[in-house]
């Protein structure tokens, strides 16, 4: 690896990722010990696969990746369309199942959508940063993201769609979108949300919202998971019940304990201290990513970095929020902690891009 890149990399980000992975592996080991450690072994394999991919994402200058992003974006759109014709799993057509390998295109598409979106905005702003506020240019920018979001909603996968939307909002904010558009969007959203609830959302989505507001409406059905999650976290108290000793985890009450509700499992067995540590590590990671966006050598790097912040911020807040009952359940994984192949690879690529931008940032640029 280039010595200059090695010297400039923000190693604290990798330390944060390492801490999260270790905690995640410990939790997975405990959660899967009753199931021949199947998912634990697979997660170890995904880590080994993801590391060289991350290194590649660091080495290739992000401006070069941006040049080929239209082709990668096009492939992503094709995959998002194709996955709609697959067999539904848990009510959603989100996965390609190829033997023992399952692939979720909406996850990996995050990378290409963020890079293309950033590239499109940079091209629009070549003459003036204010050009982003022209209606036609804004329509092009929104169309770039709304197309994959629409396809993801059709699966349906509302959680992932919201992650894309948050990235879009942060990138537009950093790019200097006019405040009138922000205010108008909030007004439109306030009007549309009730209409969507009553006339657009399917019954299962409405049920999730209703149960979020009152889990006891259906304690043995839609409210079951969140009730068990709260019991698990509460049972852990300060120091936890100990590894392999969680009753909710090992007696089958907490589900799915390796993906959506792994934070609950950690709370039960390792306690509030470790849960607090996880949150602190995420805060450091996201803060570092914001700093990378601030110090990037160009607008392209800033937009990509802040888009990545949006992805991580949503996943962390939503996953932890839903396990403690503060947010509706959407089924998004906890980055670097939850079990998941495609999400793990995607998160490593996003970290690789952050380190890529960090290594070439203004504050660290070498003079030839």
Question: Which pLDDT belongs to residue 366?
Answer: 35
Question: Which pLDDT belongs to residue 364?
Answer: 42
SS3 11: helix
Question: Which pLDDT belongs to residue 357?
Answer: 95
Q: Phi, psi (5° rounding) for residue 97?
A: -105, 110
CA 53 to CA 57: how far, in whole Å?
6
CA 298 to CA 322: how far, in whole Å?
36
Question: In this structure, are residues 113 and 145 in contact, taking their beta carbons and an 8 Å threshold?
Answer: yes
The 10s digit of each residue's pLDDT in 11-70 is 899 999 999 999 999 999 999 998 888 889 999 999 999 999 999 999 999 999 999 999
Consecutive H or E run containing 98: strand 96-98
What is the pTM assigned to this prediction? 0.92
From first to last of the 368 residues of the chain, give the pLDDT tens digit: 566 667 778 889 999 999 999 999 999 999 999 888 888 999 999 999 999 999 999 999 999 999 999 999 999 999 999 999 888 777 788 888 876 677 899 999 999 999 999 999 999 998 888 889 899 999 999 999 999 999 999 988 889 999 999 999 999 999 988 888 888 888 888 888 888 777 777 777 777 788 788 888 777 877 888 999 999 999 999 999 999 999 998 888 888 899 899 999 999 999 999 999 999 999 999 999 999 999 999 999 999 999 999 999 999 999 999 999 888 888 899 999 999 888 999 999 999 999 999 998 865 443 33
Please report, for the chain, the start and end positions of each structural domain, with discontinuous segments joined by +.
3-363
- DSSP H stretches of helix in the chain: 3-8, 11-32, 38-59, 62-82, 105-124, 135-153, 158-175, 179-199, 203-213, 224-236, 247-250, 262-295, 299-323, 341-359
The 10s digit of each residue's pLDDT in 198-209 is 777 777 777 778
Q: Can you tell me which residue has the tokens 């950033």?
A: 118
């Amino acid at each position: 690896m280039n010595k200059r890149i090695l010297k400039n990399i923000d190693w604290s980000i990798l330390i944060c990722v390492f801490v999260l992975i270790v905690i995640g592996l410990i939790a997975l080991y405990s959660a899967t010990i009753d199931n021949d450690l199947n998912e634990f072994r697979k997660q170890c394999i995904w880590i080994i696969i993801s590391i060289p991919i991350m290194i590649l994402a660091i080495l290739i200058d992000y401006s070069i990746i941006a040049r080929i992003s239209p082709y990668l974006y096009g492939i992503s759109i094709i995959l998002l369309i194709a996955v709609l014709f697959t067999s539904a799993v848990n009510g959603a057509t989100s996965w390609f199942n190829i033997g023992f390998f399952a692939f979720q295109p909406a996850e990996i598409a995050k990378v290409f959508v963020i890079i293309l979106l950033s590239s499109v905005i940079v091209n629009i702003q070549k003459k003036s940063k204010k050009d982003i506020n022209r209606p036609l240019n804004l329509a092009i920018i929104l169309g770039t993201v709304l197309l994959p979001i629409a396809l993801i909603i059709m699966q349906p996968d509302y959680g992932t769609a919201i992650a894309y939307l948050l990235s879009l909002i942060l990138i537009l904010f950093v790019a200097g979108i006019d405040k009138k558009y922000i205010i108008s969007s909030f007004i439109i959203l306030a009007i549309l949300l009730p209409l969507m609830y009553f006339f657009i959302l399917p019954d299962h989505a409405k049920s999730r919202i209703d149960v979020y507001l009152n889990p006891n409406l259906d304690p043995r059905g839609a409210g079951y998971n969140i009730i068990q999650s709260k019991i698990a976290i509460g049972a852990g108290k300060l120091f936890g019940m100990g590894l392999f000793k969680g009753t909710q985890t090992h007696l089958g009450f907490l589900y799915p304990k390796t993906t959506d509700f792994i934070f609950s499992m950690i709370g039960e067995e390792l306690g509030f201290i470790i849960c607090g540590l996880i949150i602190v590590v995420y805060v450091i990671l996201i803060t570092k990513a914001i700093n990378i966006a601030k110090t990037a050598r160009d607008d392209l790097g800033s937009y990509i970095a802040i888009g990545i912040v949006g992805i991580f911020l949503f996943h962390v807040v939503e996953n932890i929020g839903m396990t403690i009952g503060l947010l509706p359940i959407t089924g998004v994984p906890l980055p670097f902690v939850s079990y998941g192949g495609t999400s793990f690879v995607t998160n490593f690529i996003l970290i690789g891009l952050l380190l890529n931008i960090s290594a070439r940032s203004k504050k660290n640029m070498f003079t030839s």
